[in-house]
Structure 1
Amino acid sequence: MAIQKLYAGAKLREMRARLALTQKIFADKLGVSLPYLNQMENNHRPVSASVVLALAQEFGLDVTELTVGESERLVSDMREALADPVFAKTAPPLADLRLAASNAPALARAFLDLHRAYRQTHERLASLDEALGRDDASLRASPWEEVRDFFHYCDNYIDAIDRAAEHFAAPATPRQDILKTATEALAKRGIALAFSGNPDLRHYDPATRTLTLSDRSAGPTQRFQLLLQVALLTQNELIEATLDLARFTTPEARDIAKIGLANYFAGAALLPYRAFQQAALETRHDLERLADLFGASIEQVAHRLSTLQRPGAKGIPFFFVRVDQAGTITKRHSATRLQFARFGGACPLWNVHRAFETPGQFLRQLAETPDGVRYLCLARDVSKPGGAFHAPVKRFAIGLGCEVQHAPALVYSDGLDLKGRFEPFGISCRICERSDCHQRSVPPLERRLRVDPDRRGLLPYEIAD
């Protein structure tokens, strides 16, 4: 089996810039010549084992950071952007995209920002009401997308907030004690906790210093909302400092991100990193047992598993996604090589869409993407009752998975033939190269088509080799 060479030029340059070292000093500390370092930083040579060892010993680098950066995400996002018909005649080959992502990631991100701005301009012009009826219809990035991308490129792991949440939860043991810790934290600030039948999940009144939670909500939701308010009231300085570093372009994006960081704190306090990671290993990542141990919901547990990316103590790389009944992705994160479509729905061959047909059950799927990577995929519906007969029920499905080499560490792999048949699935039809997919909706971007009026197969056209 051939050993894959490690090219990490962008990471080396970023690290040297962060340490404010010249190439000469950096090369001396790594024990290599200046020309050799220059070649590694420009991906003309792979990073050698001795350099990896020197990075770990000299700078305390978690060497897994060299292999799980943002390159795969950038390639996937660029391929999807280039699926836009505007690039139909100029789309570069995949090899060029990989070079751009590894050698010039800042340029790749700038391209994605430019395409996003183009999309938003196009959408505005497509609606006369939007384009002509509003005085403030100036072009700017969507705050929601800006925040989504912030978490996406942070690996959905915010170290300072994660550690602060773990410290906050340290005196507690799972379930009831975290409630005691949270209510005591509020009581120290003169804030009372109350419950009501109000449909709002959470309401804090600064005038009366009262936090009111809905008694219609399930226990895990109440705990999460309580911890979220604790984050806003006790961790404001840390959250604001994190927002300052992120440099969001609009006040709306900053406001959305603040709630996102408070949500992150709540999840990390409910499921503290080290205790949760240890329990995950002991239960073989059994979502139901973990939910019961920590008084959390299955969705909260699945989401938390996808964030265990602390340097030096990383868990299994998972992807996590939540979709609605229309197939729209409402939450997404991947610490694996699998990256989800930024726009539109997910692949219809993926088992997450079938979860709505079998409520209350876990579906298992052994699946393979067009690049040959194999995954164990889990899916389950997560209905959220409204608490009253006439209240609407929110219905979602969640998907969680990992690359198949990690599957034995999951209880869900029991009884599966991990060397048997893997079902095909992809990310988006426009960037999926499979020619025999019966669910294909549009042709692939990078392939030529043949149309035979006298023949009709699975598709009304053939995809040329």
Structure 2
Amino acid sequence: MAQRKIFAGVKLRALRESNKLTQAEFASRLDISTSYVNQLENNQRPVTASIMLSLAETFNVDVTTLLADKSDRLIIDLKEIFADPIFADAPPGLQELKNLATNTPDAAHAFLRLYEAYRKSNERMAGVDDVLMREQAGNLQTSYEEVRDFFHYADNYIDELDRAAEELAKEAALTDHHKLERLVAYCAEVHELNVEFVLPNKRDMIRQFDRTRRIIRINASLEKPTQFFQLANQLALLEQVSLINDILERANFKQKEARAICRIGLGNYFAGALLMPYAAFLKEAEIVRYDIEVLGNRFGASLEQVAHRLSTLQRPQHRGIPFFFARVDQAGTITKRHSATALQFARFGGACPLWNVHRAFEFPNEIIRQRAETPDGKRYLCLAWINEKRAGGFRQPTRRYAYALGCEIDHAHKLIYSEDLDISETAAFDPIGISCRICERRNCTQRSVPPIAAEISISPDERSVVPYEIV
């Protein structure tokens, strides 16, 4: 198999500019010609092994950041957009999308935001969503979508916040099942904060912070992992203010609401990293072969927390298995999605109905497995399960979600869930997709709409499950 060529023009240009170097100065440091640097930055030539070695020695660059091609997920997002019928006359080819994502990623992201604005305009005109009608005119993305993309294109890993949580876990000795009590004690000793576990007056109250009296109140009906998570979240918003502000400044959000939403998201990220410190969690995950139930017991965490944490293990030079993770409600809406794999979730519309996460509601007490293959030929081991989130009490609200966790089949042998599965038999893999509009499978009986890239044939004399044939 031919070795994959690495094009990293955008990253090299950013490295040069961050060091305030001209192309000639950059070339001199790497002992290559200025024209060669120009070709590298414009993706006209790939980065060779010798160039990578020079970058590592001269600029202390982690070469894995060059090998990680984050343009793949951007290409998938663009492909989904161009599947819209408005582009049916002249949809760009795959190579054109690659050039757009690789050479001009800022323009590609701007196009994503523009398309989202177009969709919202159509929905407003059709009166589909009253909430969208109340948004300010001209917003290219909602605040939540801005934050979603921030984490999405950061591979769901925030290095400095992750390391800060890991240091605090050591400092506060949060190493065993008494970590909630230790965190309560830390809040009192270091920040003079009192933590009270109370039965709330409001039926949906989870956490409250009385700044004047310096009291953090947490719903006593919540399970311990959730109580720890909520306390750690509030602690992050108090103790990591400067760090979180720096991250928000670099994110350069267009809407002020996005900053507020992302601040909560960063607090959540810190809480997960504090509950499951990176190095200790990754080491234990490898020992127990990524058994999420065992990991939950070892770290006093819920299965959702464990799965979410597994999807963040992308620290340079100390990476875990690249996982995807998603949460789906009973209507089939993806309410949380992260992926460090080539598998990306639909930005618009629902998930593929052949994906096993939809069947999880049928098996409430099991972790179900699926061997799946996407149209690009990549194969995955997919896990799915459900959980109920109860606030306590007969009339208290209950939320039900299905969860999905998976990795590419090349990593499946590291997971305990692959022990009795034949991962070499092609027929054992279920064909799944991302979105019907960009899925090119011709024999799917669950198809809702035809793929935009293909023509269809409709016969008045024949009727199959799908009422047309893809030519």
* TM tier, smaller: over 0.9
Secondary structure of 2:342 counterpart: coil
Any idea what the Cα deviations from partners look like across 1:232-265, whole Å, max 9, x if unmatched?
A: 1211122122112212122211111111111111
Residue equivalent to 1:429: 436
Q: Any residues of structure 2 matched to 1:281-360 within 5 Å, and which?
A: 281-360=286-365
> Is the deviation greater in 32-41 or in 362-371?
32-41
Counterpart of 2:197 (choices 195, 198, 201) is 195
The separation in 2 between residues aligned to 1:40 and 1:247, in whole angstroms, is 27
Question: Would the alpha carbon gap of residues 447 and 129 (structure 1) be closer, same or farther in structure 2, given more than 3 Å must change?
Answer: closer
The separation in 2 between residues aligned to 1:21 and 1:318, in whole angstroms, is 37
Contact 2:436 2:449 in 1 (8 A): yes
Q: Any residues of structure 2 matched to 1:236-315 within 5 Å, and which?
A: 236-315=241-320
The separation in 2 between residues aligned to 1:169 and 1:392, in whole angstroms, is 33
The separation in 2 between residues aligned to 1:458 and 1:443, in whole angstroms, is 13
Residue equivalent to 1:89: 89
- The AA in structure 2 aligned to 1:193 is V
1:121 shift after superposition: 2.1
- The AA in structure 1 aligned to 2:226 is T
The separation in 1 between residues aligned to 2:17 and 2:371, in whole angstroms, is 42
Question: Would the alpha carbon gap of residues 270 and 54 (structure 1) be closer, same or farther in structure 2, given more than 3 Å must change?
Answer: same
1:183 shift after superposition: 1.6
The separation in 1 between residues aligned to 2:312 and 2:14, in whole angstroms, is 23
Residue equivalent to 1:418: 423
Structure 2, unaligned runs of 5 or more: none
The separation in 2 between residues aligned to 1:76 and 1:363, in whole angstroms, is 27
Any idea what the Cα deviations from partners look like across 1:329-387, whole Å, max 9, x if unmatched?
A: 00001111111111221111111111111012111111111001111111111221231
Is 1:71 the counterpart of 2:71? The answer is yes
Contact 2:387 2:401 in 1 (8 A): yes
Is 1:138 the counterpart of 2:145? The answer is no
Contact 1:174 1:293 in 2 (8 A): no
The separation in 2 between residues aligned to 1:293 and 1:401, in whole angstroms, is 21
Residue equivalent to 2:169: 169
Q: Any residues of structure 2 matched to 1:381-420 within 5 Å, and which?
A: 381-420=386-425
Secondary structure of 1:399 counterpart: strand
> Is the deviation greater in 4-13 or in 151-160?
4-13
- The AA in structure 2 aligned to 1:389 is F
The separation in 1 between residues aligned to 2:224 and 2:469, in whole angstroms, is 53
Residue equivalent to 1:46: 46
Residue equivalent to 1:61: 61
Counterpart of 2:383 (choices 378, 382, 402) is 378
The separation in 1 between residues aligned to 2:68 and 2:333, in whole angstroms, is 27
Contact 2:196 2:218 in 1 (8 A): yes
Secondary structure of 1:383 counterpart: strand
The separation in 2 between residues aligned to 1:131 and 1:212, in whole angstroms, is 31
Contact 2:123 2:129 in 1 (8 A): no
RMSD of aligned residue pairs (Cα, Å): 1.9
The separation in 1 between residues aligned to 2:133 and 2:146, in whole angstroms, is 25
Contact 1:120 1:139 in 2 (8 A): no
Contact 2:40 2:47 in 1 (8 A): yes
Q: Any residues of structure 2 matched to 1:27-42 within 5 Å, and which?
A: 27-42=27-42
1:131 shift after superposition: 10
Is 1:455 the counterpart of 2:462? The answer is yes
The separation in 2 between residues aligned to 1:95 and 1:241, in whole angstroms, is 37
Contact 2:436 2:450 in 1 (8 A): yes
Residue equivalent to 1:158: 158
Residue equivalent to 1:204: 209
- The AA in structure 2 aligned to 1:441 is S
Contact 1:378 1:399 in 2 (8 A): yes
Counterpart of 2:240 (choices 235, 240, 259) is 235
> Is the deviation greater in 106-115 or in 236-245?
236-245
Residue equivalent to 2:183: 182
Residue equivalent to 2:111: 111
The separation in 1 between residues aligned to 2:128 and 2:441, in whole angstroms, is 38
Number of equivalences: 463
The separation in 2 between residues aligned to 1:119 and 1:276, in whole angstroms, is 41
The separation in 2 between residues aligned to 1:130 and 1:183, in whole angstroms, is 43
Question: Would the alpha carbon gap of residues 273 and 129 (structure 1) be closer, same or farther in structure 2, given more than 3 Å must change?
Answer: closer
Contact 2:174 2:182 in 1 (8 A): no
Question: Would the alpha carbon gap of residues 128 and 274 (structure 1) be closer, same or farther in structure 2, given more than 3 Å must change?
Answer: closer
1:40 shift after superposition: 2.5
Q: Give the TM-score normalised by structure 2.
A: 0.94
The separation in 1 between residues aligned to 2:146 and 2:58, in whole angstroms, is 35
> Is the deviation greater in 89-98 or in 430-439?
89-98
Any idea what the Cα deviations from partners look like across 1:209-240, whole Å, max 9, x if unmatched?
A: 21111111111111101111111121112212
- The AA in structure 2 aligned to 1:264 is Y
The separation in 2 between residues aligned to 1:12 and 1:235, in whole angstroms, is 31
Secondary structure of 2:196 counterpart: strand
Contact 2:210 2:216 in 1 (8 A): yes
> Is the deviation greater in 219-228 or in 449-458?
449-458
The separation in 1 between residues aligned to 2:9 and 2:241, in whole angstroms, is 37
1:137 shift after superposition: 4.1
The separation in 2 between residues aligned to 1:382 and 1:89, in whole angstroms, is 45
Contact 1:182 1:230 in 2 (8 A): no
The separation in 2 between residues aligned to 1:194 and 1:70, in whole angstroms, is 44
- The AA in structure 2 aligned to 1:27 is A
1:46 shift after superposition: 1.9
Question: Would the alpha carbon gap of residues 129 and 315 (structure 1) be closer, same or farther in structure 2, given more than 3 Å must change?
Answer: closer
Percent of aligned pairs with the same residue?
53
Structure 1, unaligned runs of 5 or more: none
Q: Give the TM-score normalised by structure 1.
A: 0.95
The separation in 2 between residues aligned to 1:378 and 1:107, in whole angstroms, is 36
Residue equivalent to 1:14: 14
